[in-house]
Structure formats: structure tokens, C-alpha cells
């Protein structure tokens, strides 16, 4: 287990993407995070900093919340730009409510949306096509946990989606029907699921550089076969990072999940797999940046079922087994984060 203090570990400096008490002066309200674009009314006193250390500057209109604007920064984490309460500028009606406590993976912060696109039906990305959203925000409908919602994007075999922000009307996110790549994609709201891998055996869904926020259940759903790769990614406030389907029609396996260079915040379970179907999860360079001491389950194993044949059941947590290829040393705990290490000793039995 690695325990690193936020103020002492150089490697953590770029990782700490969440706002904590003391990241804004008393009586101030955060309007955006470091390297994001903010907008204020004329002659507004803006504070830039963190951990009770601030640089103040009077600004007007739009500006970048950055060291270049303020002439300095406070080391040890992500700085914030804040203004006196009551002077927060009005938001564009198409924008979601501000979320100053969002985190991000270093090098992959969510950009400011260049426009908001309201779709009337699922956007289909054809086989082999590359859909570049130009950092536009895309909405469709819903965004709850109701089953059966349509996807915002449906990606055919060999297709790619990049530079896209999924807005609060996230429906069922993105469906990948074969090999697909989701590169520089951010979910302001996870909706039913952020993305679902539906491809057959031999296909790979790759997720690289992005973030997803606010989901009560799964972030990534794995219903197909083949492989799911997630890297350089941040997830905040969700039930799970990824889950193999527990009770799909025609459920089975094996499925392989690879997680590398991922930061999570208040996600109780990182990966859930069905060992009876031969699923394998490989986890490296995982960082937990939780707000409390609830113990996170890193690799949770289940007994999966075919729909109509009972319910899936949780069996326990595994480390260093054929199905859960992860060691406790692969996980960095930022205080006060903790992980579950005692739910199951060795390989969990399958009833």
C-alpha cells in the first residue's frame, strides 16, 4: 500500500483535482478551476489559489484561471478562481450548474464547451468513421438510471468519438458495437451508463483521456465480450468504475478489463467481474482520492447469471489471483482514502 501526503508527494501535485475547504477565501464562491475559462462582471475582485493561500486580481469579462493570468500559483494541488459571494456572473441557459469540485486526470481536464448541441435522436458513428465533436456539449434526453434509454452516440465497428462533452441529458451515454475508441470524452453526468461495450469476442473498446461525474451506479458497462481498456481517466461520485454484466440475456464470457492511470473520487467499487464466466481484470496505477474513510473495493468478484436464471451474487474482493490481477501496491491512497483488503482471502469460492 502506498500512502502519500498531498503536500509532500510531487507526483500527487498534478493528481489532486478536487476542491477542499480552504481553496477559496471566506465569503467567496468558486467559479472555475485552474486552466479553465471564467467570466466575471466588470471590475470583479478574483482570488486564485488553494489551501488558504491566494493571489487577488481585479478582472473584467472572460479570462483563463491560470498562473499566467495571476502571476503565480499555490503548489500542492489544483488552484481555484473564486469571487465574493453575490457577484457570481449569470450562466448561459444551455450550461449545466457549476461544479467547482470536479476532478480530472492530469493532462485531461474537461474543456469549456464550445457550443451545446441538442440532439433529437441518437448520433450514429459509422464503421471506421472518426467523429470529432470539437469540444461541443451533446445532450439527448433523460439521464436517469431508467433502463432502456437510447444512447447519445452509437459507434459502429472501428468507429471513434473524440473531443466530445456529454451533457446532463446523457440518456445511456455511448454504445460501442465493436472495436471503438473514445478519446478525450467527458461526461458531465453519467446518466444510465457513461458507455457500454457491446462488441463480440475479439473486439476492444478503448477509453483514453477524459472524466465522468455523478452516477449512482456503473460508469462503464461491459455487456459484450472481448476487452475494455480504460486509461488516463477520472471518475467522481459514481457506484462503480466498470462492471461486467451480472444478468444479461445470453450472458457469459470471458471478458478482459484493463485499468491503468485512473483516479477515482468516492467510487465504492472500482471493477466488478464475473469469475464464473472467466472474466479477468488487470489494474495498475490506480489512485483513490476519496472524501471519507469508507473502504473502496478494488476488484470485486461476482457470480454472473443468464437473465431469467436467478440473480447475480457478490462473492468478495480478490488481490493477486488469476481473475483479479492487481496488488495492493498498485493502489495509491490519498488521505483519508482506504481500500477493502479483507473481504476475501485469496480466490473467492464460486457456489
Is the model's pLDDT at 222 over the cut of 90? Answer: yes
pLDDT of residue 195: 97
| pLDDT: which is higher, 161 or 144 | 161
Q: How far apart are the C-alpha atoms of 260 and 214, rounded to whole Å?
A: 21
Q: Cell 464562491 belongs to which residue?
A: 29
Round the average pLDDT of the chain to a whole number and report it. 86
Q: What is the pTM assigned to this prediction?
A: 0.72
Identify the three-state secondary structure at position 152: coil
Residue 96 has pLDDT above 80, yes or no: no
Choose among 190, 165, 207: nearest CA to 36. 165
46-62, pLDDT tens digit by residue? 999 888 888 988 888 88
Angle, CA 256 vertex, CA 108 and CA 163 arms, to 5°: 25
Output 285 or 310, whichever has higher pLDDT. 285
Pairing relationship of beta strands 153-155 and 174-176 according to DSSP bridges: parallel
| Averaged pLDDT, 2-9 | 35
Residue 336, φ and ψ in degrees, nearest 5:
-95, 25
- Of the pLDDT bands very low, low, confident and very high (cuts 50, 70, 90), residue 347 is low
What confidence score (pLDDT) does residue 22 get?
74
Q: Which residues pair with 238 in a beta bridge?
A: 215
Distance separating alpha carbons of residues 195 and 152, to the nearest angstrom: 10
Peptide bond into 254 cis (omega under 30): yes
Amino acid at each position: 500500500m502506498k500512502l502519500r501526503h498531498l503536500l509532500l508527494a510531487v507526483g500527487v501535485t498534478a493528481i489532486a483535482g478536487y476542491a477542499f475547504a480552504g481553496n477559496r477565501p471566506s465569503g467567496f464562491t468558486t467559479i472555475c478551476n485552474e486552466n479553465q475559462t471564467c467570466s466575471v462582471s466588470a471590475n470583479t475582485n478574483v482570488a486564485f489559489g488553494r489551501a488558504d493561500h491566494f493571489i487577488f486580481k481585479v478582472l473584467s469579462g472572460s479570462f483563463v484561471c491560470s498562473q499566467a493570468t495571476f502571476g503565480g500559483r499555490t503548489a500542492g494541488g489544483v488552484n481555484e478562481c473564486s469571487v465574493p459571494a453575490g457577484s457570481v456572473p449569470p450562466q448561459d441557459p444551455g450550461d449545466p450548474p457549476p461544479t467547482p469540485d470536479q476532478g480530472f486526470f492530469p493532462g485531461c481536464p474537461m474543456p469549456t464547451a464550445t457550443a451545446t448541441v441538442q440532439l433529437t435522436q441518437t448520433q450514429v458513428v459509422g464503421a471506421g468513421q472518426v467523429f470529432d465533436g470539437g469540444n461541443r456539449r451533446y445532450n439527448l434526453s433523460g439521464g436517469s438510471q431508467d433502463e432502456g434509454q437510447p444512447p447519445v452516440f452509437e459507434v459502429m465497428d472501428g468507429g471513434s468519438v473524440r473531443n466530445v462533452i456529454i451533457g446532463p441529458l446523457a440518456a445511456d451515454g455511448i454504445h460501442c458495437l465493436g472495436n471503438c475508441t473514445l478519446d478525450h470524452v467527458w461526461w458531465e453526468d453519467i446518466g444510465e451508463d457513461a458507455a457500454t461495450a457491446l462488441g463480440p469476442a475479439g473486439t476492444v473498446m478503448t477509453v483514453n483521456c477524459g472524466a465522468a461525474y455523478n452516477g449512482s451506479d456503473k460508469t462503464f458497462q461491459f455487456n459484450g465480450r472481448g476487452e475494455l481498456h480504460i486509461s488516463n481517466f477520472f471518475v467522481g461520485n459514481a457506484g462503480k468504475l466498470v462492471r461486467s454484466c451480472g444478468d444479461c440475456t445470453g450472458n457469459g464470457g470471458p471478458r478482459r478489463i484493463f485499468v491503468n492511470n485512473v483516479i477515482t473520487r468516492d467510487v465504492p467499487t472500482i471493477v466488478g467481474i464475473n469469475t464464473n464466466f472467466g472474466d479477468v481484470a488487470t489494474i495498475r496505477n490506480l489512485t483513490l482520492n476519496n472524501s471519507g474513510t469508507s473502504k473502496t473495493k478494488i476488484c470485486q468478484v461476482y457470480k454472473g447469471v443468464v437473465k431469467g436464471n436467478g440473480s447475480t451474487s457478490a462473492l468478495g474482493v480478490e488481490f493477486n489471483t488469476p481473475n483479479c490481477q492487481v496488488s495492493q501496491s498498485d493502489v495509491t491512497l490519498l488521505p483519508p482514502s482506504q481500500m477493502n483488503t479483507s473481504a476475501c482471502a485469496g480466490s473467492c469460492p464460486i457456489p
